[in-house]
Amino acid sequence: MNLTMIKQSWFGNIKGDVLAGMVVALALIPEAIAFSIIAGVDPMVGLYASFCIAVVIAFVGGRPGMISAATGAMALLMVTLVADHGLQYLLAATILTGVIQIVMGIFKLARFMKFVPRSVMIGFVNALAILIFTSQLQHFVGESWPMYAMVAGALAIIYILPRFTKAVPAPLVAIIVITLIAVFTGSEVRTVGDMGELTQALPLFLLPDIPLNLETLMIIFPYSLALAVVGLLESLLTAQIVDDMTDTESDKNKETKGQGIANVVAGFFGGMAGCAMIGQSVINVKSGGRGRLSTLTAGVFLMILIMVFNDLLVQIPMAALVGVMIMVSVGTFDWSSLRHLHLMPKTDAVVMVVTVATVVMTHNLSIGVLVGVLLSAIFFAAKISKVHVHSLQLEAGRKKVYVVTGQLFFASVNDFVASFDYKEACEEIDIDLKAAHLWDDSAVGAIDKIVMKYQDNGTKVNVIGLNHESSVLVEKRAVYNKPDAKAANH
């Protein structure tokens, strides 16, 4: 990384970056507030987090132009921690999340992202969308028609306005209009102010007020681990999307460490854990943001807006935020996956649906991802464990050739061994392994077993066509080709 490159990533696109950053800041405010409410903390916690994370990641992130802040995926993971133990434990968990991510970055774990199948990632975003949507339903409880009408009005503005102008972000217009209506009609709908405190102060550096002992660690560690994993999954997915949109490359390990640093800073300044946001990053790039300056502008402008418009922010009706969150949920869902569900390979569709179902049942994205990855690993093993054996009679039935095609390993040996006929009358058997590969001890054991069964019946067996790796394995571990062989030696 030399000076010109740094300069380019900061000041290569000043006008586009500043304008896009401001658009993003406007779109961030309602989301940061709404995600705080989902997590069960004061709106300031999400706003401080968004400010800290955006500003820090602008300097230390590996993907210029990507927007990171307080997110729904992370907020959903911390609900029970906040409910059971309170804000201070959340701040401590946020710092620990950052530390875990920094460690993951140092060990370059971003490369393991390639083992997370696409079907799991589709399940991840779909489940996230469903959870964001269902988390809004509680706001309808005990409300009357003015609230319903406001939600409908907000949605109407959000979806119809962009047809006429894209100069201003539609969700912002929806919030302003609905807030004005609520203020001037004096309606008694619930507002952001009713959900928690919004202060006009800048975030301060504070140590979380918790006992520093093993018990605390045991409480926060499971949450931090889940937050770290989910945060990185969404961040690296977003980085890939931004890579594709801008046709450029990014440093995934630097981004991993950067996310960690940003979360540590957020935790010390009273913010909740966050990660990259797909929706906001797409808005940023579409609005012309490309460089680090856009992310920095988003964070700084967000803080300025909070300071200046604090009195107005508390008057935003929850109905307007619910409308914005429904839009976020609809935008997060991968609708093309529904259209293509019947075209996907069956196992992929099952993995996707199981991932979504697991998350919706457990309310935990990390468990859903884990189940999805394990399930697709099992499907993969099942798929490649199919071994085909077909036989040819030669020399008027005195000799028989078995041709084996496939991967021989612990999951495939049972069927493999069972596909031979040991009670044959022929004198000589060839086992042709040209199109097969031996992977482990089980495979060698299976060959031993087959050869010895034939030898017990007095049939001569030739194992032919082993590829180099397989023959090395056989040389080391097999017993059939050594004197005094016994299959049980394995």
Partner 1 sequence: MFNKILLASDGSEHAIRAVEKALLLAQNNSNAFIEVVYVVDGDKSKADVLQNWNAVDIDFKRKEKLAFTEQKLKHAGVRYEINILHGDPGPSIVKYANEKVFDVCVIGSRGLNSLQEMVLGSVSHKVAKRANCPVMIVK
Residues that bind partner 1 (CB under 8 A): 114, 117-118, 121-122, 125, 163, 237, 240-241, 243-247, 278, 282, 285-286, 334, 336-337, 340
Q: Which is nearer to partner 1, 246 or 310 (CB)?
A: 246
Token representation of residue 350: 């099952």
Q: Tell the smallest beta-carbon distance from residue 9 to partner 1 (Å).
A: 18
CB of 372 to partner 1, least distance (A): 14
Least Å distance, CB 237 to partner 1, is: 7
Least distance from partner 1 to the Cβ atom of residue 314, Å:
34
Contact indicator for 138, 307 with CB cutoff of 8 Å? no
Among residues 135 and 238, whose Cβ is nearest to partner 1? 238
Both tokens of 255, joined, read 């981004």
Q: Is the dihedral of CA 227, 232, 237, 241 positive or negative?
A: positive
SS3 367: helix
* Tokens linked to 242: 């931004």
Smaller CB separation from partner 1, 33 or 122: 122
Smallest distance from partner 1 to CB 246, Å: 6
Instruction: State which residue, 340 or 390, has the beta carbon closest to partner 1.
Output: 340
Contacts of 319 (CB under 8 A, 6+ apart): 139, 143, 146, 147, 148, 150, 151, 154, 178, 182, 189
Q: Are 119 and 344 within 8 A, CB to CB? A: yes
How near is the Cβ of 410 to partner 1 at its closest, in Å? 26
Q: What is the C-alpha radius of gyration for the chain, rounded to an integer number of angstroms? A: 29
Q: How far is the CB of 250 from partner 1 (least distance, A)?
A: 11
Q: How many helices (H) and strands (E) does the chain have?
A: 21, 6
Contacts of 13 (CB under 8 A, 6+ apart): 288, 289, 290, 291, 293, 294
In whole angstroms, how close is the CB of 66 to partner 1 at the nearest point?
A: 13
Residue placing its CB nearer to partner 1 in the complex, 267 or 289: 289
Nearer to partner 1, 334 or 415 (CB): 334
- CA-to-CA distance for 56 and 74, rounded, in angstroms? 18
The smaller minimum CB distance to partner 1, of residues 16 and 260, is found at 16
Q: Which is nearer to partner 1, 178 or 239 (CB)?
A: 239
Least spacing, CB of residue 478 vs partner 1, in Å? 36
* CB of 152 closer than 8 Å to CB of 320: no
Between CA 337 and CA 198 the distance in angstroms is 39
What is the residue-wise DSSP string for 79-148?
HHHHHHH-HHHHHHHHHHHHHHHHHHHHTTGGGGGGGS-HHHHHHHHHHHHHHHHHHHHGGGTT--HHHH
Q: Give the residue with the Cβ less far from partner 1, 124 or 301.
A: 124
Q: Which amino acid is at 139?
A: H
The nearest distance, CB 470 to partner 1, in angstroms, is: 28
Residue closer to partner 1 by CB (options 100, 121) is 121
Give CA torsion, residues 441, 443, 448, 454, to 10 deg: 170
